Structure 1
């Protein structure tokens, strides 16, 4: 029997580690998923288990290549960003895979900002809000000053997607989708590493940059296959949309974070946008993608637990709640909708930390359904601001929502109402970031044309409520 030609994609999330096999029409023909328990680093902070991850990748790939039904022609990686793996000259990791939520020392931050023109200048030039360890460049800076002995042994600091690729191919490289994503490393004005990176000689510890759609022929046992360099998962999730739609659009990718991405807006970031957690991603072809992040998936998760406890229902109860425009109309009339905080100049900013719902008294709501509608209303009031930041000044006709909120009828109906002049669609792409990583290296393994039907759409329109 002839073996089916496939591409293997490792999709490494914080929670789930997955391997998919896609056929030449980009259908998933095999998959495996694993969850690992976190371990702790030397400070007692939780982090991913790098040894276990590395062993899982090598073992599983060996198994898959030996499967009698499939011929693995290529491998690529999509993985979460903002995480660095420090390797020595032999390619062995030197330190734990530090968590991007690890607290960052204030004195190091102040030292960097005072040496290189201040926080507002540096964050604007690097299109990176100041996010502590979430700015992966700051993790490398920290290593240099806190662990100089280890820094001296360092051959390369690889972003996680490139580390996973390196485990398979032995090719140590950097890719722009990881470097260009809120790392504080890249100067978007000059399209090069920022001066602070070269002054601190961190660029000597960053592997050579190659195009994100590169691949290298690698021998694995008796087989040779093309291995891609890996992609940052948010940039990767955009690729199926870019290959399917030519008209300008915004994608709201929803998970723990709701990230609004506009690949058709390359205007420089303003200080106000940075205060609202706006940043630039890098498109896999090297173009800036204006993006704004909201921690709304996490907030939703916390608040539905609170609702379940208060109303004594299962945590998943919200999945049973249908959209009710009358309930929304009543809530809009009776409850304040936004919470504000002041910026450094005393201007009112909508608070994007948590949601107003966290401060609401649940006893004010008669039913679970009413309270849940209010939660989504509060999330949408922030989503509107977040998404508007990337819409401004670009000719967008459509908004696509993928991930969890795309399946939430209340969220989708309220979003359509919030953007009455733009077509709003729930978009589903099976495993968008994994599929994006497969499409990125299409020309290295697949002789068929790129598919134009990767994305399934469901349109939502604004509902007018009769008074």
Structure 2
């Protein structure tokens, strides 16, 4: 019986492998941490070797592998792979590598002079390698011999589809996620991608849900996959999370949480996007521009926890933070977000305080409060004038009741709902895309009850007032 879907979900910090039946139930799930490695050329690279070994050993050991009818991959963005005639042309770059050239270097200035403007790409200029075009430009000019081996360029999800099927393809949700490689309104490659010769190297475009072909015979035999297992094109992870909501006719903001907390509002205006606040347009699986805002919520939450359990804080702990005027001011992750140029600090009654001076429960409450405040602020930025919308929270934050209650209290004009799906939104979205033409069950959402904290909105107004000084 071939009734399972293999979902490979590769996030920046963690990777998951799930075997899901036709009803959508996860029958088996495996995970590992995901961290970069140092490439022979000296830069920080994606750990494709480690992930490959893990996927192979996990599938070979599972009794369910033989039941897989199809496979699909979702991965984090800002990641691209080059193939030569036999395999990897060079180790794929990690976007958190800190060597992409300082802002005073000639290489940086040359890139800045040639890249397309925000009005065309709807992609802000981001630090490190978060603009994937900067990665390609850096490698092309810093390691020309390695670059010369490039015959085909693939977005990261499509690398895994190629590894599984032997068929190369590209897909718009990965090409259009703040890469500066894609023009969302023109539905084509940027001038930079064309003049540098990259556009000609990208594999042909295909929809995320398309079947590329069966699994490679040698992989099927080695791993125990059926020879008829169909390999789908795959998708950018945040856009996988959004995909299940694209048929909605209501004003909707989807909050996809993980290492990044990404807010996507398909019906929001693009004219008010602020590039200086890391606001941009992603491109959804249908090729449509999607107004987006984000911050590195998972990293910032962990930084504020400073070792405390994530679920330790209570509404009473929040009340104490409000009464003591303890504020967490952004940002606690320099890699992105609306306040990435500012170093985060915690203030109590206007004076800096060390995180370790706070009890673990207070740190847990502060982390939830801070992430709720940034989320609420970004909802307001995406929807100026505060028009009412439904805000759906997916991922780890959907399972944090303190964060949820605070967010609803901070957004009194909106209707917040938490996903009840036991499967996280990115993996669920990938599973749905593997059966895109079939009817899907309604999303399991639970309305959020806002916490009754009379001092919260004045506290948040004070927090917002501090932001105006940034």
> Match of 1:234?
238
Counterparts of 1:268 and 1:18 in 2: how far apart (Å)? Answer: 37
* Aligned with residue 6 of structure 1, among 4, 7, 21: 4
Separation (CA, whole Å) in 1 of partners of 2:211 and 2:174: 16
- Picking from 386, 390, 405, the partner of 2:397 is 405
Q: Deviations over 1:419-460 (max 9, x none)?
A: 10101122233122111111112057xxx632114x342422
- Offset of 1:268 from its aligned partner? 4.0
Pick closer, same or farther for the CA change 1:218–1:275 going to 2, 3 Å: same
How far apart, in 2, do the equivalents of 1:394 and 1:364 lie?
36
SS at match of 1:73: strand
Q: Is the 8 A contact 2:346 2:355 kept in 1?
A: no
- TM-aligned CA distance change 1:77 to 1:367, over 3 Å: closer
- Give 1:99's match in structure 2, choosing from 86, 91, 94: 94
- State the shift of 1:166 in Å: 0.4
Matched with 2:111 is: 112
Unaligned runs of 5+ in 1: 309-314, 341-348
Higher relative contact order (CA 8 A, sep 6+): 1
Among 421, 426, 434, which residue is 1:433 paired with?
426
Higher helix share: 1
Matches of 2:30 and 2:355, distance apart in 1: 44
When residues 10 and 100 of structure 1 are mapped into structure 2, their CA distance, relative to the original with a 3 A threshold, is: same
Matched residue of 1:319: which SS? Answer: coil
Shift of 1:191: 2.1
Aligned-residue CA RMSD in angstroms? 3.0
Structure 1 residues 193, 36: CA separation in 2 closer, same or farther (over 3 Å shift)?
closer
2:258 pairs with one of 255, 279, 286: 255
* 1:164 alignment counterpart: 160
Match of 2:84 in 1: 88
The offset of 1:100, in angstroms, is: 0.6
Moved more, 352-361 or 164-173: 352-361
Separation in 1 of the partners of 2:343 and 2:297? 8
Distance 2:74 2:340 in 1: 32
Shift of 1:60: 4.5
* Matches of 1:63 and 1:298, distance apart in 2: 33
Which blocks of at least 5 consecutive residues in structure 2 are unaligned?
Answer: 221-225, 332-337, 457-470
Does residue 119 of structure 2 align to residue 124 of structure 1? Answer: yes
Q: CA deviation at 1:231?
A: 0.6
Pair 1:449 & 2:445 matched: no
CA distance in 1, matches of 2:239, 2:378: 18
May I ask how many residue pairs the two structures share in their alignment? 432
Distance between the aligned counterparts of 2:455 and 2:113, measured in 1?
57
State the match for 1:323 in structure 2.
Answer: 315
Partner of 2:228: 224
**1:343 matched residue in structure 2:** none
Deviation at 1:39, TM superposition (A): 2.6
Do 2:257 and 2:397's aligned partners in 1 also have CA atoms closer than 8 Å?
Answer: yes
Q: Choose which of 22, 26, 29 in structure 2 pairs with 1:28.
A: 26
TM-score by length of 2: 0.82
- Residue 384 in structure 1 maps to residue 376 in structure 2: yes
What is the distance in 2 between the residues matched to 1:364 and 1:94? 46
Deviations 1:384-429 (A, max 9, x none): 3222222237965211122233333332222112110101122233
| Counterpart in the other structure of 1:39 | 37
Write the distance in 1 (CA, Å) between the matches of 2:249 and 2:88: 42
Flag the 1:150–1:268 CA change in 2: closer, same or farther, 3 A: farther
- Over 3 Å counting, the alpha-carbon distance change for 1:198 and 1:32 in structure 2 is same
Tell me how far apart the structure 1 counterparts of residues 161 and 155 of structure 2 sit (CA, whole Å): 10
